[in-house]
Amino acid sequence: MPYVVKKNGSRTEYASAKLRGSLSLALRKRPVAAPAVDAAILSIEEKLLTSGQREVDTGYIGELVMQELQRLDKIAYIRFASVYKNFEDLAEFQDAIAEVGQDRKPRKG
């Protein structure tokens, strides 16, 4: 796995447990099965491995996490994005909600 470059410039070894912890926190009390979370982690790790990079910054990993959360659970995506993107006002939440709402399929009935 590539090394992870933090925002402060320090480098650390990739830790799967940290990735799992971030996903678990965003998905807390959401109806997402453990196998789906495991598959998301594998997908992220595969992308990291196949990137061919020796180092990746935390921003890249954060974007991969957001992609998986948007696919898994829209509420978890908003939770993660609000912290990751450091939302500062309601308008930023509304923009994120509108963004995930565009993916929504119309309800029947």
The residue ranges of every structural domain in the chain are 3-101
- Could you give the angle at the alpha carbon of 87 between the alpha carbons of 80 and 26, nearest 5°? 10
> Which residues have a Cβ under 8 Å from the Cβ of 18 and sit 6 or more positions away?
none
Provide the whole-model pTM.
0.77
H/E element, 55: strand 55-57
Can you say how many angstroms the Cα of residue 97 is from the centroid of all Cα atoms in its chain? 15
User: Could you read off the pLDDT tens digit of each residue along the chain, which spans 109 residues?
Assistant: 899 999 898 999 999 999 999 999 999 999 999 999 999 999 999 999 998 899 999 889 988 998 999 899 988 988 888 776 666 777 776 777 777 776 655 545 4
CA distance linking residue 7 with residue 92, whole number of Å:
22
